[in-house]
Structure 1
Amino acid sequence: MVTTAAFLITMLVGVPISLCLALSGVAFILATGNPLLLQTFPTQLFGGVDSYGLIAIPLFVLIGEIMNGGGITRRLIDMAMAVVGRMRGGLAYVNLIANMLVSSILGSATAQVAIMAQILVPEMEKKGYDKTFAAGLTAYAGMLGPIIPPSIMFVVYSVLAQVSVSDMLIAGIIPGVLLTGLFCLCVYIMGFFYNYPRGESMTWRQRADIVLNAIPTLLIPIVIVGSILTGLANATESAAVGALAALLIGRYWTKELSFSQLPQMLLKAGLYSSVILFLVAVAAVFSWVLVYGKVPQAVAAWVQTVAHDPISFMLLVNVILLVIGTVIDGAPGLIMTVPILLPIAVDVYHIDPVHFGVVVVINLVLGFLSPPVGLCFFVASAVTGAKVGRMFYVTLPFFFAACALLVLLSLVPWLSTVLVK
């Protein structure tokens, strides 16, 4: 009770979520009246980040920085334009396809929305699309970042759940492609109601030139995902190879990257990664507090009175996580829910932890697009000036499409695990 009160009070007064978790751990120790537990606190903090797999996080962030500085993002967008831009609602499809390609490199929803909104929303507005719709679509397309590998949230979940980082990254491929397909279906249907414009026509020669110019940039996701699928490298090693590939492509193919930019890129990657890694460290303390206080056992007893089989449990988890995701960001949401729900899923309902992780991450990412927080909407709004409330309203079909995918994944675990087995 003291721990819960400490967490809520510190969060309500505006203390960063990572410090809320750490201070809640201290409050729990003081409430037990056993000061010897304080000696365990630094051990738990260190143990939380004492994982080889976590090295992948700064490497994935660095890949994104190099990609942006090297002009790789623009070439991927041009390639998507050449392939689907002529269709009705062509730029909307380009938005989704380009985000799918970029997400296979960036792995962060908020970073992806910030980058793509600057590039695509003005272009869509110029061609006759409503700015609010364009910004909202870009925000939903940013969902693909934490789902399609590489994914920082999957790496964090892997450490919390003690499962293979490589397995988690690969498990996101099919759900990510399915989500892209559902979003494209939404654009197709909405295109008839709103009469979305067609893109500019291109000759086959122009299309071929653009695609050929962009093909080398596809080596980055191919190297990352391909090395994991073939077993040539684990997630961390593939991230290192991907960073090297991005550096070489940006410097010698696009020729937009200068080595003088690297120190700034490394600094930004280090700062962003340190925030995530500190969250992972305090997650270890938070998990330890939960186990010591027998919280998972109490929650498991209650859940079993409501959910009597794996499917009903997964549907209940979807509802719980969607609510949590509306007020708490992705990584903190993982830290707060996985230590409680994962033991129940695995030990009581015998659910594959990889499948469970995919559903959990998609739920919490959907929270990025749900009020009152809706972090991706706020990022898109800050970049484009679109209204957050109206953005949510005009993109409701995409919200329902994401919910449909969650139900499908809950009913058909095979979609998450087939590439892992």
Structure 2
Amino acid sequence: MTPIVFVALLFGAVPIALVLILTSIWYISESGNTVLFDSFMQQLFSGVENYGLLAIPLFMLTGELMNEGGMTSRLINAARVFVGGFRGGLAYINLLANMFMAAIIGSAASQIAVMSRAMVPAMEAEGYDKGFAAATTAAGGLLAPVIPPSMLFVIYGVLAQIPIGDMFLAGIIPGLILVAVFFAVITLIGLFKPMPKGTWMSFKEARSALLACLPAALIPAAIIGGILFGIATPTESAAVASMVAFLIGWLVYGEINPLKLGLLFARTARNASMVIFMIAAANVFGWVIIYEALPQKLAALITTITSDPFTFLLIVNLALLIVGMLIDGIAALILVTPILLPIAMNDYNIDPFHFGVVMSLNLVLGLLTPPVGVGLYIASAMSGASAGQILRALWPFLLAVTGVLILLSYVPWLSTALL
């Protein structure tokens, strides 16, 4: 009966955190193990008693401060220096700027919203098809969960009980591969569909754009450099980055008003609290799953199908692709990690960092695929292009991501080489 209750709540538009809590309560009542209620609240609160989770609101705050402080537009202008002169230059600029923003925001949905407002009107003004402009921007948002810092990596690190800093390192090479593949996709599209010719900046304009961007570039440097060189933990790096973003936006660019920070803090707190509550609910749900020995039962089933780790990952990728189409990526990660990670590690000897990279990239694909496709509808709302227009231009990028997923599944060291 419990699985029926879970599915009914999930497809009944009940918030995922409540789905997890209510299903857990139902299971305890139905199984007669009411003694579990004695430690129910303890399990709920222990889910958020993790220092690493502080990185989530701090990275969200950094993204908000960057948008408020005018750093996004300066990063986009700096990207123009490097690729603006190529045919289809603004499409390349879009992806390069998305790569810069992915090293700051860490959330695909937020990045798609921010970049759609900035890039789609600019591309349309230069003669690009609106659907293609929105699709390129939406595809660029897929870099956010792979290039560190990634909110999905923070959550996965907490759930898997592995160092979040190492999880960030695991995403660097896959993120760069994804950027290179997206550049190749735009080049191939340009062979069959003429794109507007770009213009190179003059030396004076390029120098001015790079100098204006330098303060903003301190933020990803503070985040990634601090973690890479062991100077700071991801949480400490996020705190430093948010402070740097505030000081640059206020003192250097003059676009942040300290008197209006209250609204920004409140917005960040609301967004972060939803994620933290889901993690607390997931801890209770995972506790019930372990008590019921669900991972062991599922492992016994899957190992009868295959003993090959790569085949197992292909099965997982297919299953997660379906899950990601129906459930938000963060919620899906919270839901499936306690079930699948023990099987991957214990039965197939798959490295947890490798598994985390594959899972995170797979689940975020659901942002851009119907029927839910939140990222697709965000790009549509921000750009004015219909979801159908965007989807028609998006399929080459989705195929490219699928190819990268298969490559990452087959070659584990792409995720673990820097560890």
Where in structure 2 are the equivalents of 1:24-63 lying within 5 Å? 24-63=23-62
Opposite residue 283 of structure 1, the aligned amino acid is: A
Structural RMSD (CA)? 1.1
- What percent identity do the matched residue pairs reach? 47
Distance 2:141 2:40 in 1: 36
Per-residue Cα deviation, 1:177-210 (whole angstroms, up to 9, x for no partner):
1101100100011012111102234212211111
Compute the displacement of 1:393 (Å). Answer: 2.1
Per-residue Cα deviation, 1:246-265 (whole angstroms, up to 9, x for no partner):
11111122121121122111
* Partner secondary structure for residue 306 of structure 1: coil
Distance 1:217 1:12 in 2: 42
Judge which range, 154-163 or 3-12, deviates more.
Answer: 3-12
How many residue pairs are counted as aligned between the two chains?
419
**What TM-score results when the alignment is normalised by the length of structure 1?**
0.98
Query: 1:149 maps to what in 2?
Result: 148
Are the counterparts in 2 of residues 307 and 316 from structure 1 also a CA contact under 8 Å?
A: no
**What TM-score results when the alignment is normalised by the length of structure 2?**
0.98
Opposite residue 377 of structure 2, the aligned amino acid is: F
Opposite residue 192 of structure 2, the aligned amino acid is: F
* Partner secondary structure for residue 60 of structure 2: helix
1:129 matched to 2:146? The reply is no
Compute the displacement of 1:319 (Å). Answer: 1.2
Opposite residue 405 of structure 1, the aligned amino acid is: V
* Partner secondary structure for residue 257 of structure 1: coil
Query: 1:113 maps to what in 2?
Result: 112
Per-residue Cα deviation, 1:323-356 (whole angstroms, up to 9, x for no partner):
1111111111111211111001111111110111
Opposite residue 320 of structure 2, the aligned amino acid is: L
Are the counterparts in 1 of residues 75 and 213 from structure 2 also a CA contact under 8 Å?
A: yes
Compute the displacement of 1:16 (Å). Answer: 0.9
Runs (4+) off by over 2 Å: 199-202
Distance 2:54 2:202 in 1: 45
Distance 1:66 1:108 in 2: 15
Are the counterparts in 1 of residues 86 and 199 from structure 2 also a CA contact under 8 Å?
A: no
Distance 2:160 2:68 in 1: 34
Where in structure 2 are the equivalents of 1:401-416 lying within 5 Å? 401-416=400-415
Distance 2:102 2:332 in 1: 21
Where in structure 2 are the equivalents of 1:87-98 lying within 5 Å? 87-98=86-97
Where in structure 2 are the equivalents of 1:384-395 lying within 5 Å? 384-395=383-394
Compute the displacement of 1:391 (Å). Answer: 1.5
Structure 1 residues not aligned, in runs of 5+: none
Per-residue Cα deviation, 1:379-414 (whole angstroms, up to 9, x for no partner):
011112211123112211101110111111111111
Distance 2:50 2:124 in 1: 45
Are the counterparts in 2 of residues 136 and 391 from structure 1 also a CA contact under 8 Å?
A: yes
Compute the displacement of 1:267 (Å). Answer: 0.9
Compute the displacement of 1:11 (Å). Answer: 2.1
Per-residue Cα deviation, 1:229-283 (whole angstroms, up to 9, x for no partner):
1111111111111111111111122121121122111111111100000000011
Opposite residue 107 of structure 1, the aligned amino acid is: G
Distance 1:201 1:380 in 2: 28
Query: 1:243 maps to what in 2?
Result: 242
* Partner secondary structure for residue 106 of structure 1: coil
Opposite residue 12 of structure 1, the aligned amino acid is: F
Query: 1:226 maps to what in 2?
Result: 225
Distance 2:65 2:390 in 1: 31
* Partner secondary structure for residue 149 of structure 2: coil
Per-residue Cα deviation, 1:28-87 (whole angstroms, up to 9, x for no partner):
011111222112211111111110000100100000011001000000000011221111
Distance 1:13 1:407 in 2: 33
